[in-house]
Structure 1
Amino acid sequence: MSVREAFGGARKVVTVLFCDVVGSTGMGEALDPESLRRLMERYFEEMKAVVERHGGITEKFIGDAIMATFGIPRAHEDDALRAVRAAAEMRDSLERLNQEFERDWGVAILTRTGLNTGEVITGDVQTGATFVTGDAVNVAARLEESAPPGEILIGEATYRLIRGFATAEPLPPFTVKGRAEPVTAWKLLEVATGARGSTGSLDSPLVGRDREFGKLEEAFRRVVDDQRCEAVTVLGAAGIGKSRITREFVLGLAGHARVVSGRCLPYGEGITFWPIVEVLRDAAGIGELGSLEEARPKLAALLKRGHDSALIGDRLAALLGLSEATPGIQETFWAVRKLFEELAASQPLVVVLDDIHWGETTFLDLVEYLADWLHGVPVMLLCMARPELLETRSAWMSGKPNATLVPLMPLGATETDRLIQNLLGGAPLAEEDRARIGEVAEGNPLFVEETLRMLIDEGMLQRRNGNLSLTADLATLTIPPTIQALLATRIDMLDEAERAVIERASVIGRAFWWGAVSELIPEEQRNRVGTSLQSLISKDLIRPDRSELREEDAFRFAHILVRDAAYRAIPKAGRAELHERFAHWLETKSRDRAGEYEEIVGYHLEQAYRSLAELGPSNERTVALGRRAAQPLASAGRRAFARGDMPAAVNLLSRAASLAPAEDPGRTELLPDLAFALMQTGDFGGMQAVLDDLKRAATAAGDPGLQAHAAILDLWIRLFTQPEGWADEAHREATRAISTFDAQGNERGLAKGWSLLGLFHMMKGRFATAGEAW
């Protein structure tokens, strides 16, 4: 079973919608209770249908309020947009309902709506519960309460996900009940029905696609020169640039071809031929809200050349909802083919079909039919798809001489760097910062753009003295919300066995081993791990990797953000258990190379501890886990100290010290080495803080050895801050410390004491004596 099923829920990013009736008390006074109930039942029925039509779930009715969620049980990359579109349609539907209510009961309903996006914990999917909890729910409710009657307010996170698809008016920050900080919100004005519009100032010319662009141009030349149909499929992962290269190609066709377009939708009712409906509207100039009287003559004008025009028109009119006829599949195929022949009779026709990996089987059959049966006319079927298309349609366009596949691969490092510079409009950003952003994006143009957009939105990329600089550690950067939504969708589409593998693999890290995943999987499911790994490879979510452990096959996530998205879905209690179990597996597996892997073991125990600590309250298990995690980290830190790698020593020793209780003797023993390592890296402020901690512990314990360490470290600080009179005191304290350490057999203490004494002799010009001390 997947981790979310094993631990009774999942952490998910969802969009929450609250819609409440304004002035329901007045309606109650005006209507008989039975009439009011019938009216509200009719209202709830209609609103629930709208929510479900957009892929949402009605969580509950609270009095007169509706709470709906978008993103459970399965995420979709456009959940926020679905929620906003649902809210807008609910408002429009209410206008129509009110005509009925005013006619029958003499009243009208007025509502206000709030939407917000954020991380929640979902209910137990095994029991079918979808109940969600989290701050995102509270904010959505507060936005609804703050909305004026008839208006829709959307939170900042939601707005960032839907900008470019909607027009919204920013509101001044305002306070809401239960939150200390003001809330930022937008008032929804309009939701676009077409493709995404502008999302901000980031823009760049097409980068790194010359070869692929050339393939598109060659295919179009063949279409024109040979007067034939050619099907071209641009294939690539989400965000890799399929839409961008297609858009640039289409722009270059101006004056040379007629271009019409349609796209497959990931959800909805009766959407099999939706792309063709959009193509028809595009070709005929029929708006979505156009009247039947306007649409019919426009459709007829497309078909004025052929002797079968009336018959073709009837079949196509049915697709547009202009006719009650229900033509068969083959009749529809024939009518679409005849339409394309008609459109291509006067000039080359390019039909752009986007997101065909979401296409219904019948629609894909239609596209292949067109590729086979369109003859003697210049038609280019330009399809865009993700690799998932080949999972459901492995023989897509197979064996067709007039079919071309244009795969898009990640950009190289040089191309990614050029893209970053273009997107920033030439604003200077240090090369190392550009490289760090490029490492996060790993050649995916959308990931580059959205990472930059998030850095700018959150003030992590700032202009200083005319230059841009990063103010954030990208290693701790969260996934941009647009990318999180996209990747969460891919993971949610996996079957249970595949999710079980990818979630447990995400706990191990970017690279992982087959045996480790099997160890974390319930025993009764381990025989399916190999099949699931192979399936995840075919879906380009993971890739084979070189193994550093004998007799263990290794794999690697195709992109670090895929790993992060899978990991974020796991409840923290589940993370803790799996990190601890993996640490045990690795300890057992690497027993003969314990020193090599103890830092990794320590990291996983540390993550287990921190996951539990964040859930609180602390208990014996949490404390014991912290102590256990500190041991391998401390050992790795001391080895780094011994080889002179002071930055690594600071990192490891400070983490170890933060895991154990303040009074723990093992923690106190770390402090001298940590303070000395901080001094070596020039962090005297950090060194002083650790020294103060050490002095308190030494006094409390009455330990001469710890007191000697504190005295020596105090002298090192004074050497750099108050050197007057330092030498004589250094000689006295070093001699005393050496005596204490010698009596205790403390070799590390002796090394520090003799080092200080040697420095004293060197400052006195006694170099031979100093050499003997060192």
Structure 2
Amino acid sequence: SVLFCDLVGFTAASDGADPEDVQAALSPYHARARVEIERFGGTVEKFIGDAVMAAFGAPVVHEDDPERAVRAGLRLLEAVEALNDQHGLDLAVRIGVATGEAVVSTGASAERGEGMLAGDVVNTAARLQSSAPVGSVVVGEATWRATRAVIDYRPLEPAVVKGKADPLPVWAAVGARSRVGEATASTATPLVGRIDEQEVLQRTFTRCVREASVQLVTIVAEPGVGKSRLVQEFSGWVDRREELIIWRQGRCLPYGDGITFWALGQLVKAQAGILDTDASKVVSQKLTHSVSTVVEDPSSVGWMVARLAPLVGLAGGESSREELFTAWRRFLEGIATGGPLVIVIEDLHWADEALLAFCDHLLQWVTGVPLMLVGTARPELFDKAPNWGAGHRNATTIGLAPLTDAETAQLVAAMLGTAVLPAATHALLLQRAGGNPLYAAEFIRMITDRGHLPATADPDQAAELGELFPESVQAIIAARLDTLSPESKGLLLDAAVIGQTFWSGAVATLAGRDETSVRTALHELSRRDYLRPARISTLAGQTEYIFGHALIAEVAYSQIPRAARATKHQAAAQWLAGVSGDDPGEQAAVIAHHYSQAHTLSVAAGSNAPGQATLEELADRAGHWHTLAAVHALALDPVAAERHYQSALDLTGSEDPQHPHLLTAIADVYRQAAGRYREAEATFERAEIEHLRHGNRAAACIATVRRSRAIMVRGRAADATRLLDHIIDELEQSPPGPELL
């Protein structure tokens, strides 16, 4: 797929202008165009004055290159608007995208004036761009057919273009509606069995659409049995349907207390096209625009935006849980009015109670729209929520059983292709796998990586292969990691420190290598099914990846020595803080997690690594980020805010002047939570005493005022009044200042 983007009217406007002024105007446009194109996996072929030509599918091929090209075009439209706001420019563009065959010269040199692509598709893309209305992305028929399931279009009048005998049918892209930020599905491992489970998902979706109702399906299984693989297969079935279906996917994180609604935030960001690196102003604009497109009553847009804001990292006012849940539900209902909405939340066993409560709220209150909620979880979910889904006629649980021996044999045969295992090895594999498809698949990959894959069923190899069988799926993953070169394995271990989702720049920082070579190595690891690239990165200019399975990340992380983990967690925290900017939002909790891990591991190791932050510095940084995370969590989940404040208190000594401020903050959380006024009163009093010990009379008075409120709520009005009178006397003896207010 080829993309052409051209500035409208720029050539005429720049006639007679100083060349340096022209270059100064074009530089931010060229830089932003390159970032957006490369973020979607495209390659900038060349800049021709004010025009940009980009290729998707050369030199690197992706299965969804047409979609990537159109999404890049839509992002370029937004980027130009942002440039106009930031630099006071008045730029406008039109974009054309064509898909077809081309001759690719991989050795072409831009310095020698050589183009990488040649063919009719290049000319067609240029002609489509010329015919496009200003401020639009116009595509040809091949692109439209390849992307109509995931991009909204409106038909245009056929375009009469030079070099074509007949007018070309063309469409203008309206918006991307499906699977933003989701990992590219890898189907390298075939799906066997699961016919009944697939039918349950398909029938539930059909019922959801037919009845315009909400439906919940929870897929429960032990690690490696195939939860994510079943979701991938369902995703493919959804994609093959003719009607427009909106697919949104989020994941619960296994770390970072207080990242309560991370998965929901991913869904909202995907719908609004928000990146984690977007400035607050841009995030606000995108969120407001997204809400205004799905809400029928314009007067409610501001109310809804204020309650969605904390999910995307913006400040929000105080709202009750009921208000938040209502606003979030109405937003999702608004999306579902445009077409059936499928929401996938992975790893529900790591979800906080508040997110599970919101899912239950959806089940009870969504009406009149087709909304299907799919969750994946390990059995531990029912330890946390024993009644999950119970009592709802619209809730279904799929318990994935291990594969039968026959199904495992079918999986092994599909992966082996023409190769054949010795009978004894085959039998032992079935026995050791115990129906776990991940074990079987990882074993085949391991012997392939080691060069032990036999061409024939040689009995003499049975003994040799038999020695390779680990006892568990974790052990087989560890054995497979050992087949990697030290450099590749090191990158995988570094990625595991960052988390199940990670970025090439972060891995390069932890590894101390240049990002270009790291991307090449990660691409090779993706080819070997250790990880998979995300369709779109949540960080501008970064390639995003997801581990192929959570167990791969867990096993890789477990192999890092404790002292090295501490150093790498610190580096991960610094990198995330650097890319998060002045308003980290929910990333504050992730950064706090990394600094806390760095501190805990350094304490356990007995010291910090040479050249790294001291234990005191790590504690200070972890406490700082826990405090920021608590402030962010307050609007969404007071319980999470309390955990963050408590973590900050645990890291801050009582002699630290910051300690009483943290006591005041956590006491405020107690005061706002029903039934905890006694705790609030006692904690405010502790804060007063510590403030006075540090000589901060004004801060002590503030804590006393808040203590009086907790006392008042408990019905002791006279005691509260006496406290306030005492404070007034104290402040009257102090110099004038804002505290008197």
Q: Pick the structure with greater CA Rg.
A: 1
TM-score of the two chains, using structure 1 as the length reference = 0.36
Which has the bigger relative contact order, CA under 8 A and spacing at least 6?
A: 2
